[in-house]
Amino acid sequence: MTGRPIWRLLLRGLGVYLPGWEMPAGAVRVRNGTAPPGFGPPAYLNGDAGFGVQITGRRKGLEPDREIYVRGRENPSFGIVVAGPAAAIGSRVVDAEVLMRFARRLTFEELFETGDADSVPYAVRGARAVENAVFLDRAAGIGLCAEVDPATRALSCPLYVRIGGPGERTVRAYGAVAQPVRSHS
């Protein structure tokens, strides 16, 4: 997990939005049916789709902070780190699809220049090129990371984050482990 772009994006985001906090050295593995210490509600594990979180409320109009990162020159891929209340996402259940849709919308809004029609194609290309998204809600103590598989283009949330309180200043990362496929022959 620690060699993937989503991990590097998570560490960048933690450095920007939680400077001085103890960063995770790796991710604790989570399987369906197995709950390591610290893992649990509002997070859940949904097989190959990875993690999701259940949010108690949803509100439009909240503007979370965001940082956009670009990798590559010829065929760039975008990553975005968003920090703010999870209610800003606008859904009570946040999974890979919901988080990526939110991240792409924020990326479009960031790249689009009101009054400049020439910025529309660039903003659309940028939004479509978002392949990694990290959302951090410090107040709720949670984070969720979504990525696009480069080979299959499938969306998943392979990382869930627990953010400790101000006295603890620690961050724990949990990595989704898909259930093995069993043959019934």
Quote the pLDDT of residue 52.
Answer: 87
Model confidence at 126, pLDDT cuts 50, 70, 90, reads confident
DSSP string, 16-45: HHSTTSBPPSSEEEE-TT---TT--TTEEE
Distance between CA atoms of 180 and 185, rounded to whole angstroms?
15
Per the CB < 8 A criterion, the answer to whether 133 and 80 are in contact is yes
Beta strands in 24-179 (DSSP E): 27-30, 43-45, 51-54, 65-71, 77-83, 93-94, 130-137, 142-148, 155-163, 171-176
pTM assigned to the model = 0.85
Distance between CA atoms of 96 and 84, rounded to whole angstroms?
18
Instruction: Give the amino acid at 40.
Output: G
pLDDT in tens, 38-95: 777 888 888 888 888 998 876 666 788 888 888 777 777 888 999 998 888 888 889 9
Distance between CA atoms of 110 and 42, rounded to whole angstroms?
29
Per the CB < 8 A criterion, the answer to whether 52 and 46 are in contact is yes
Quote the pLDDT of residue 73.
Answer: 73
Quote the pLDDT of residue 38.
Answer: 72
Per the CB < 8 A criterion, the answer to whether 159 and 10 are in contact is yes
What percent of the chain shows pLDDT beyond 70? 91
Region of 166 please: left (phi>0), alpha (psi -120 to 50) or beta. Answer: alpha
* Mean predicted lDDT score pLDDT of the chain: 84
